[in-house]
Amino acid sequence: MAHISARGYGWRHAGRRRAALSDVTLDIPPGEKVLLLGPSGAGKSTLLAAIAGVLGDDDDGERTGSISVGGEAVHPGVVGLVLQDPDSQVISARVGDDVAFGAENLGVDRDEIWRRVRRSLDLVGLDLPLDHPTSELSGGQKQRLALAGVLAMGARVICLDEPTANIDHAGVAEVRDAAVRAAEATGATLLVVEHRVDAWVDHVDRVLVIDADSAGSTGSANSSGSTQPGLPGSTVVADGPPAAVIARHGDALREAGVWIPGPPPAVGKRKNVAPGTPAAFELIDLAVGYGGAPARKRRRNDPRTPPVRVGITAAIPAGASTCITGPNGSGKSTLALTMGGLLAPMGGRVAVADSLAAGAGPDPMAWSSRQLAGRIGNVFQAPEHQFVTATVREELELGPKLLEDPAGAARVDELLQRLRLDHLAAANPFTLSGGEKRRLSVATVLATAPSAVILDEPTFGQDRRTFTELLGLLRALADDGVTVVSITHDPLVIGALGDEVIDLGSDSGIDPGIDPRIDPGEVGKQ
């Protein structure tokens, strides 16, 4: 088993004046289950990556103090890390090969590998043939698959970095129960980073809170967006049994943005779409998937790369907020890419209203990148897929420069402040926390002032405070006449932004709507 020890540990990303972590000292005994809490950007994921040994070398940042696992520096296979995005962790086309991948790289004997693969799949509750295609797994199943791969390596420490952020409600319990069951069966130490406490608080032994220290080390931003030199980062500010930490620090945690069990935040309510509202997008017998070319250019009855979803017919009202929901694997993200002109339909068509097309034609797939950027903003599920520059400010400035928009500079400054990214303006986008990356990805789209925005899980990985701010921003956009489309699992998001709801889990595809008198916290419990 593996005792985790940190002594005065700190990390500062290369190019950042402010440290992410400072003077972290802690001991985690073997087999303990620990929940790491703190506001977005506090350094939780950084600490988890440090324990897993994946922060990088001296070119990537500056390290102080030490972290050891089992009295030694981290060795391959000792610590296993499962990340937020289920799709990014799938390596192989078949379930068995994917679970075996890590163990194979560690040089484990072949017979032992396959014994481990079968045991690991059993522990995480994936009763599937070894040759089952990984492409047919739901998001929750992919997270359990990643966990099985960690177990097959023989990891003595399991690190989960917001493992339920991208999966539906049903999948949350499945992933949590699989992780707890695996840790208890193997004796492994379990470390979990999550913003929402309620799913985990009754299943862990201990809570650690990571944040700026009581002296206040948030710093003040200078003109370049960096904090003044010498300011420390976050450290451990609370540590103890879950009930005791929440009882003593619950109000402060809630104020900092942690999702402490209790009443939901006030996020507003959906609005009724006025009768006769014109459609911004018409989805006409649409088939979506990754077939590469539209159906007319493919061979009839071609079995390769079948559509993810067929027969989608719906109207997206202009100047309103629409939520697209449904279980993992129902085609939500694929539909978003197709509506946004980034993926060709495999059948049927997307027709954009003249008011949105502004002379570019009804088919967004036929638009140039410049035309697309000024009309439809696309926010991807994985924020990193949108980043192409070296700093946060440059990332925000790119779109307005492409469009030669004279108002872009002022809009960039406003977005930096409104989404609390101004102190990170000079930072490399890839060094941001998960929540900060999400806010940046939303901001880059809004910087071009498009007439429509399509967002894939815009609130995942956000603390309570930023979650509320983002919903307020999107609500205001819709109220100002921007067509907003959000892919979401979250009933709170649907309650606030679901003027129209398209449910890809229903037979009809269209949800009749949610009564605006219902408290948003009760949405999804009907």
Decide if 286 contacts 350 (C-beta within 8 A): yes
Across the beta sheet with 309-317, the strand order is 309-317, 279-288, 347-352
Three-state SS at 352: strand
Which sequence spans correspond to the domains of the chain? 4-256, 319-342+357-522
List, for residues 248-276, the tens digit of each pLDDT value. 988 888 887 788 887 888 888 899 999 99
Helix (H), strand (E) counts: the chain: 14, 17
Counting Cα atoms < 13 Å in the Cβ hemisphere of 407 gives 6
At 509 the pLDDT is: 41
Query: Beta 189-193 vs 157-161: how paired, if at all?
Result: parallel
Decide if 144 contacts 206 (C-beta within 8 A): no
Decide if 335 contacts 312 (C-beta within 8 A): yes
Given a cut of 50, whether residue 323 has pLDDT beyond it is yes
At 297 the pLDDT is: 47
At 523 the pLDDT is: 35
Query: Beta 309-317 vs 279-288: how paired, if at all?
Result: antiparallel
Neighbours of 411 (CB within 10 A): 19
User: What is d(CA 526, CA 509) in angstroms, rounded to the nearest whole number?
Assistant: 18
Given a cut of 90, whether residue 475 has pLDDT beyond it is yes
The reply to whether domains 4-256 and 319-342+357-522 share a CATH topology is: yes
The better pLDDT of the pair 410, 489 is held by 410
Given a cut of 90, whether residue 295 has pLDDT beyond it is no
Given a cut of 70, whether residue 213 has pLDDT beyond it is no
List, for residues 69-94, the tens digit of each pLDDT value. 988 888 778 999 998 877 888 999 99
At 41 the pLDDT is: 82
User: What is d(CA 369, CA 10) in angstroms, rounded to the nearest whole number?
Assistant: 42
Q: How confident is the model at residue 321 (pLDDT cuts 50, 70, 90)?
A: very high
List, for residues 378-432, the tens digit of each pLDDT value. 998 778 788 999 999 999 999 999 889 999 999 999 999 988 899 899 999 988 8
List, for residues 331-352, the tens digit of each pLDDT value. 898 999 999 999 999 999 999 9
Q: How confident is the model at residue 187 (pLDDT cuts 50, 70, 90)?
A: very high
Q: What is the DSSP letter of 133?
A: B
CATH class in words for 4-256: alpha beta
**Element at 311 (helix H, strand E):** strand 309-317
Residue 277, burial from CB neighbour count under 10 angstroms (0-12, 13-18, 19+)? middle
The better pLDDT of the pair 463, 144 is held by 144
Decide if 269 contacts 499 (C-beta within 8 A): no
The better pLDDT of the pair 453, 228 is held by 453
At 298 the pLDDT is: 43
Give the global pTM.
0.75
Given a cut of 80, whether residue 519 has pLDDT beyond it is no
By percentage, how much of the chain surpasses pLDDT 90? Answer: 59
Given a cut of 70, whether residue 203 has pLDDT beyond it is yes
Given a cut of 70, whether residue 517 has pLDDT beyond it is no
At 503 the pLDDT is: 93
Across the beta sheet with 4-13, the strand order is 21-28, 4-13, 61-69
At 238 the pLDDT is: 92
Query: In the predicted model, what is the mean pLDDT of the chain?
Result: 86
Given a cut of 50, whether residue 515 has pLDDT beyond it is no
Instruction: Classify domain 319-342+357-522 by CATH architecture.
Output: 3-Layer(aba) Sandwich (3.40)
Q: What's the CA angle centered on 305, arms 300 and 311, to 5 degrees?
A: 70
Counting Cα atoms < 13 Å in the Cβ hemisphere of 428 gives 11
Decide if 154 contacts 77 (C-beta within 8 A): yes
At 129 the pLDDT is: 95
Computed from CA positions of residues 460, 466, 472, 474, in that sequence, does the dihedral angle turn out positive or negative?
Answer: negative
At 435 the pLDDT is: 78
